[in-house]
Structure 1
Amino acid sequence: MKTLKSTLKPANLKPTVLALLAVFAVAGAGMAFYSPATQAADDKKAAAPKPALTVTVVKPSSARLPITLTANGNVAAWQEASVSSESNGLRLTEVRVNVGDVVKAGDVLAVFSADTVNADVAQAKAALLEAQANAADAVANAARARTLQDSGALSAQQISQYNTAEQTANARIASAQAALATQQLRLKYTKVVAPDSGVISARTATVGAVSAPGTELFRMIRQGRLEWRAEVVAQDLRSIVPGSTALVKAANGSETTGKVRMIAPTVDLQTRSALVYVDLPQNAGSKDAPFKAGMFASGKFELGSSEALTVPQQAIVVRDGFSFVFRLTPDNHVAQVKVQPGRRLGNRIEVVGGLKADTPVVLRGAGFLNDGDLVHVVAEQAATASK
């Protein structure tokens, strides 16, 4: 058997040694080119902090925002009219309207039986004719008596009796005329008419019923007018004046614009609030209108406008129930600033205190930052293009 020593000949070791020498030469050359300065630069680069997020910034801007006052209240009829029966002991034969019907002043709402009243009218007319006939005879007798006054054919007492009979007959005519007018008025009352234009809001009239005088048959919303009775606390009343505009929102989401008609002269002792009466449009009480009497509604009064410092809504971050913005420092760090949001206009929110007009704040990415984070700032156009 050949030994290991005999197998490792000088001819076989020469390529291996050359390869090892080449490797060592390359490593030495690399170490020669990698200077201490390059090492320090790499160490500094590795130690530099990395930005937490790439963001865009924006500065607050001034805008003119409307001044509004929010309130709640009920919708009610401007005025209600009670339509009652003026007939005594008559049977109701016809009801011509129902709840929700729109009527005009003078429209017939219900009809009572007029048979008895017509008979009384005829009797009163006959009594008037009788009184007129008796009066004609008495007038003629009194005229003849006065012509014989100077002749002595009739005594003064007889002449006086004829004159008295004439006056009595005329008085009976007046009485008969009054009785006839009363019966004609009863005949008129057999038809119940609308006292004003409006919308029927309640009905108690029933065909066949015998109603006593004063019994309410219908209730109506006069002229179809509704009003919003807003409850406003006492300290806010001074900012509302008659004629102010109010935007009222119904329970179904519909909105309409009303105008303040009056402010209640008293304040409720329990709630310390007063009613502000806001006239709604005339068609608000119609059958298909979104507002109904008795409905709850919210709204806001428009009290003018004022200058305000605003930021985009995206720049405000809500945490733990408070609102914050992130102010950009000169060294590209962010500082969390607590602000108080105010009025809103579109996608912009008023900032009340805590922020100056020339302070840059983070816009995109604000919701992912923490106080003191390092950020990389890019222009808004670049951020939009990178999406």
Structure 2
Amino acid sequence: MKNIRPKPLILALLVLAGVAALAWFFLGERAAPPAATVRPALTVATVQPQRESLPTTLAANGNIMAWQEASVGAEAAGLRLTQVRANVGDRVRQGQVLAVLSGDTVQADLAQSRAALAEAEAAAAEAANNAQRARTLQGTGALSASQINQYLTAEQTARARVEAARAQLQAQRVRLAQTTVNAPDSGIISSRTATVGAVVAPGTELFRLIRQGRLEWRAEVTSSELGRLTVGTRALVTAASGARLEGRVRMIGPTVDPQTRAALVYVDVKPLPGMAASARAGMFARGEFDLGAAPALTVPQQSVVVRDGFSYVYRVNPDNRVTQVKVETGRIAGDRVAIVQGLAPDARIVAAGAGFLNDGDLVRVTDQAATPAVAPGSAARASVSAASAAR
């Protein structure tokens, strides 16, 4: 049997096929397009939460009212107003004359009372002389006992008439003094009904006075928050006019409204130093009670993003990708906001520009101070412009 040997042509074809396969493998691998490079979405700076002592406040609404109002009226009856010397808004002193009533009738009555007193005193003097003579003759029998008693009684009656005349004269003097209406206390005139020429009835209110010009803020505080306040608690108040006032709690109302479940807290207020006194009684005002300070975990306000009614921050992971973290915010102090829950104290979060990020975005982190985030393309253009300017 003959040995079978491969022909040279077959061997050559096999070698060519192997070379072609190797060439396709290497050339195809080189021709494959490179994988796409993921570019960072933003260049950001990171910060860590800081534990700070933040002021604790309690917000409330209320009205600014007069501390006390005094009603100023006329005591004299049936007299005509001749002068009105004060108007609404005037600041007056205690005892200052606010209005003057006609005193002609009172002056005449006063003169008549003086004359009546003089007449009573003359009659009393005559009665006293007669009584003295009767006492002298009492032991002689010249006068009967009844006659002597009549003289003694007439003396006492005359003395009583003198006292009555003096009282009447004093009443007329008081009535004359009532022809001037005086301020019962220092303060500000808040209303005026006095009109020149009007005949004033007794007890008619002519003016209303804010005593000492003092105002108070009557804050409405819910019963659940009432226990956090004490007498002397400091408050800062902003009136509807923009006026800023400060004060302290004078009194906490003893009752709670059953409808609103709120109590009134009375705060004596005065304008802050350097502020115009534009607050007026009757104005609506908002305020905050200073309840001290408490430690809190805080982040910059720019780090917090509000979406769909919830607050989020973006935590930067070791691979420079961000994770959207839902947090609960609390008090705000300056440019920082307290984080109540949802964030670890050692977390690294985006300092600014978080509103341009989405969960899972890749970022470029810079160690510089927190600045507004910029896109990488913008940063590159800025670098090129700076280099061109330097050349």
The alignment's TM-score, normalised by the length of structure 1, stands at 0.85
Query: For residue 67 of structure 2, what is the aligned residue in structure 1?
Result: 78
Shift in Å at residue 39 of structure 1? Answer: 5.4
Shift in Å at residue 53 of structure 1? Answer: 2.4
AA partner of residue 239 (structure 2): A
Equivalences for 1:288-327 in 2 at 5 Å?
289-327=277-315
Shift in Å at residue 135 of structure 1? Answer: 0.8
Equivalences for 1:198-347 in 2 at 5 Å?
198-281=187-270, 289-347=277-335
Equivalences for 1:366-381 in 2 at 5 Å?
366-381=354-369
1:361 aligns with 2:369: no
Equivalences for 1:183-194 in 2 at 5 Å?
183-194=172-183
AA partner of residue 51 (structure 1): P
> Retained in 2: the 8 A contact 1:225–1:283?
no
Give the SS at the match of 2:225: helix
Query: For residue 337 of structure 2, what is the aligned residue in structure 1?
Result: 349
1:61 aligns with 2:61: no
Shift in Å at residue 212 of structure 1? Answer: 0.8
- Residue from 74, 80, 91 that aligns with 1:91: 80
CA deviation map 1:321-365 (0-9, x unaligned): 211001122222211111111111111111111112111111133
Give the SS at the match of 1:235: coil
AA partner of residue 263 (structure 2): A
AA partner of residue 375 (structure 1): V
Shift in Å at residue 153 of structure 1? Answer: 2.8
AA partner of residue 277 (structure 1): Y
> Retained in 2: the 8 A contact 1:224–1:283?
no
Shift in Å at residue 382 of structure 1? Answer: 9.4
CA distance in structure 1 between the aligned counterparts of 2:141 and 2:66, rounded to whole angstroms: 78
Query: For residue 110 of structure 1, what is the aligned residue in structure 2?
Result: 99
Query: For residue 169 of structure 2, what is the aligned residue in structure 1?
Result: 180
- Residue from 141, 152, 157 that aligns with 1:152: 141
CA deviation map 1:174-200 (0-9, x unaligned): 100111111111111111111111111
Q: RMSD of aligned C-alpha atoms?
A: 2.5
Query: 1:358 and 1:296, CA in 2 relative to 1: closer, same or farther beyond 3 A?
Result: same
Query: 1:332 and 1:65, CA in 2 relative to 1: closer, same or farther beyond 3 A?
Result: same
The alignment's TM-score, normalised by the length of structure 2, stands at 0.84
Shift in Å at residue 48 of structure 1? Answer: 5.5
Shift in Å at residue 130 of structure 1? Answer: 0.7
Give the SS at the match of 1:195: coil
Shift in Å at residue 136 of structure 1? Answer: 1.1
> Retained in 1: the 8 A contact 2:245–2:271?
no
AA partner of residue 111 (structure 1): V
> Retained in 1: the 8 A contact 2:246–2:271?
no
Query: For residue 17 of structure 1, what is the aligned residue in structure 2?
Result: none
CA distance in structure 2 between the aligned counterparts of 1:175 and 1:336, rounded to whole angstroms: 96
Of 325-334 and 115-124, more deviation after overlay is shown by: 325-334
Shift in Å at residue 290 of structure 1? Answer: 0.9
* Unmatched tracts of structure 1, length 5 or more: 1-31
Shift in Å at residue 234 of structure 1? Answer: 0.8
Write out the 4+ residue segments of structure 1 that deviate beyond 4 Å after TM superposition: 381-387
Aligned length: 350
Select the structure that is richer in helix: 1
CA distance in structure 2 between the aligned counterparts of 1:101 and 1:89, rounded to whole angstroms: 27
CA distance in structure 1 between the aligned counterparts of 2:194 and 2:308, rounded to whole angstroms: 61
Equivalences for 1:7-86 in 2 at 5 Å?
46=35, 49-86=38-75
CA distance in structure 2 between the aligned counterparts of 1:85 and 1:195, rounded to whole angstroms: 12
